[in-house]
Structure 1
Amino acid sequence: MMPNSRQNLPKTSESISPLTVTACAHHGAGDPNHVKEDGLSTHGFQADGPIIDVHAHIYPERYLDFLERSGIDPASTAIARDMNASDEERDIQARLRQMDEANVAYQVVSLTPQSPLIEDRSTAVQAARLANNIYAEVLQRHPHRFKAYAAVPFFHPQEAVEELTRSIDELGFSGVAINALPAENRALIDPEFIPFFEELNRRKTVCYIHPSGNAAFSSPLLNHQLEWVNGAPTEDAIAVLHLLKGDYINRFPDIKFQIAHLGGDLPFLAQRLEDNYTDWGSFRSSPREALRSIWFDAANFFGPSLVMARNHVFDPNKILAGSDYPYFQNDKRDLYTRAITYIIESGLSNEDINNILVHNPVRLLGNIFTAQPE
């Protein structure tokens, strides 16, 4: 149910304007003109519009409880609990304070990897609707700080299309987020899922692909707790390789595919992929060209990787700032700020930095980011 009143919500300023990132407005202080003396030091870099973080997560406790009641292993939801990342207003306010410290105007939030990948059709639909309704409540409370990608019952393509339609047309969401590897013996490009991608293509919308946290079902990774250390970027790359093998970039040219974590190891494999195409026919079309048609978020946090990817592999107008919030927070809160400062300090030109922080998200999602008080 949508909240009927905001009278009891803690106050926070919702206005962000073009800024010089040398100090930061602290909205939790209740004063949009308040500047922290120990603000963000970024050598005087000036962003020429609102900074947008396209990779962040909200994990509602009641949704995680529903997953576990539905038979989902609690071990898989544990990584989303106790992270101060629920939809409760105390967690949202803590999030806003960190956003303000980093001068981030908006987060685009998604549920992945806690997607409703449930075999029972009815339960999967209930889970997706519950999650999206909760996200809609957050967007209603803070329309000038958050946008959202929908969760869908991906194992059930017709129902996934229906929930996608509801989320975009009725709830005002900006696209969909799905897991990179939905199950051990199922891939995104399996024929059963084609109707879902056909609808995404018809709508010309964003399909955000994020790791599942299953380490690509690799025992050498899982047995040594490497599912997030190396398993996640491996999944990022595998998902893109699946898209390339299925020629989905050409088959569905109007889907805006967005990949997490700078694509994992893909930037370092670019020449190898192209050689496999030209010499062995491993792909139907050029991987190098396809990679320049895909959007990648920069939740990688290592400047040289970002510079190499921008200069040699990806389209510079399709690289986006991303934090992977809520991870690397709590007593390491400066790491949220790092998601922005590492881009600024990477050695890229001011034009490139402004594109990544400000303009490329608008190119991806449209002019939906307004800096207006509520």
Structure 2
Amino acid sequence: MKIIALEEHLANQEVLDAWRALPPGYQDDSLEIFDEPLIEARLADLAGERIRSMDDAGVDVQVLSLTTPGMANLKATAAVSLARRTNDLIAETVAAKPDRFEGFATLPTPDPEAAAAELRRAVETLGLKGAMIFGRVGERNMDHPSFRPLYEAAAQLRVPLYVHPQLPCRAVRDAYYTGFGPQVEVAFAGPGIGWHYETGVQLIRLILSGTLDRHPDLQFILGHWGEVVLFYLERMAFLDGASSLHRPLRDYFRQNVSYTPSGIFNHEYLRRTVKAVGVERVLFSADYPFIDAGLGGARGFLEQAELAPREKELIAHGNWERLTAR
């Protein structure tokens, strides 16, 4: 069984330096999560240790992507040039080991027109499979009209956009996640729970804006078993009568979104996801290097799943190959 893992991260020194050089108001505090030598070294390594970790976990192919916050916090000019160099690096890494790596583009989303152009270059010239984006850019939510060129480009190219979490905006953090000291607050607003509500809400906003009515074949991917919101499809019915969407909101989650575990190897979540959207909407991810899959952990999770062999193959690689066939 060939296993392709989709949320597998990198960050080279140039990107880390750019993030750390930002003034305090623009920095992403979740950088503290990988501000340790081992994680930083694994993010930068694109050969030896990464390949050994893949082999240990039972992962055959990683789809490489820049980790959070991507280019979202940079000034537009800096984001455009750095995204281009990062995508060149990803493409070079894929070309050196095409049997072990594929790639998601990173996009200069502070400049949506440039992001659309870079997505086209990354897919048509570099051969990358789509892009990883990080939801909101500053105060602009995913549904902001300025991002329409990006969604138009992805729809025309027929490539997926993987929506990765980032920290909620400062007003939300101040309202809900403060009062416990810096370390707890970052964990609370970040990977503890805040990341996931933020990402799920951003996708709901995008749907409510009519983006998927304008582009009915546009495809997104959510990690962490649907970023909380997937398991509330029944409650989303309250939005149907209040909106002017072309379809029930739950249909967008079943027809325009795919889902990965992001290293949360929980069989109950897998069963609930398959029940909610069907096995054809489930992909695989291990969230390297932030989750330690251990010896055979990634492969073991799928092998032990209460699914038919064909269904396991779909999650392991078949659904991804279908989604990215061009």
- Do both share a fold (TM > 0.5)? yes
Change beyond 3 A, Cα 1:358–1:88: closer
Matches within 5 A, 1:63-78: 63-71=15-23, 73=27, 75-78=29-32
Verify the 8 A CA contact 2:164 2:223 in the aligned structure 1.
yes
2:45 pairs with 1:88: yes
Verify the 8 A CA contact 2:22 2:74 in the aligned structure 1.
no
Verify the 8 A CA contact 2:280 2:319 in the aligned structure 1.
yes
2:300 pairs with 1:341: yes
Q: 1: CA distance between counterparts of 2:57 and 2:167?
A: 27
Q: 2: CA distance between counterparts of 1:288 and 1:351?
A: 26
Change beyond 3 A, Cα 1:156–1:260: same
Matches within 5 A, 1:89-108: 89=46, 92-108=47-63
Verify the 8 A CA contact 2:58 2:298 in the aligned structure 1.
no
User: What is the aligned-residue identity percentage?
Assistant: 24
Post-superposition offset of 1:327: 0.7
Specify the SS of the correspondent of 2:55. Answer: helix
Among 250, 253, 269, the alignment partner of 1:288 is 250
Q: Which runs of 5+ in 1 are unaligned?
A: 1-46, 368-374
Q: 2: CA distance between counterparts of 1:321 and 1:74?
A: 27
| Aligned alpha-carbon RMSD (Å) | 2.3
Specify the SS of the correspondent of 1:218. Answer: helix
Which residue matches 1:307? 271
Q: 1: CA distance between counterparts of 2:200 and 2:259?
A: 11
The answer to which structure has the higher helix fraction is 2
Post-superposition offset of 1:177: 0.9
Which residue matches 1:200? 154
Q: 2: CA distance between counterparts of 1:240 and 1:116?
A: 19
Post-superposition offset of 1:325: 0.8
Which residue matches 1:357? 316
Q: Which moved more, 1:353-362 or 1:292-301?
A: 292-301
Which residue matches 1:221? 177
Matches within 5 A, 1:144-163: 144-163=99-118
1:86 maps to a residue whose letter is: L
Which residue matches 1:79? 33
Q: 2: CA distance between counterparts of 1:170 and 1:144?
A: 19
2:7 pairs with 1:55: yes
1:197 maps to a residue whose letter is: Y
Verify the 8 A CA contact 2:284 2:316 in the aligned structure 1.
yes
Verify the 8 A CA contact 2:80 2:114 in the aligned structure 1.
yes
Change beyond 3 A, Cα 1:244–1:75: closer
Q: State the aligned residue count.
A: 310
Which residue matches 1:115? 70
Larger Rg: 1
2:204 pairs with 1:241: yes
Specify the SS of the correspondent of 1:104. Answer: coil
Q: Which runs of 5+ in 2 are unaligned?
A: 180-184
Matches within 5 A, 1:122-137: 122-137=77-92
Change beyond 3 A, Cα 1:328–1:118: closer
Give the TM-score normalised by the residue count of structure 2. Answer: 0.86
Post-superposition offset of 1:74: 7.1
Specify the SS of the correspondent of 1:158. Answer: helix
Verify the 8 A CA contact 1:53 1:323 in the aligned structure 2.
yes
Specify the SS of the correspondent of 1:147. Answer: strand
1:288 maps to a residue whose letter is: R
Post-superposition offset of 1:158: 1.5
Among 259, 271, 278, the alignment partner of 2:234 is 271
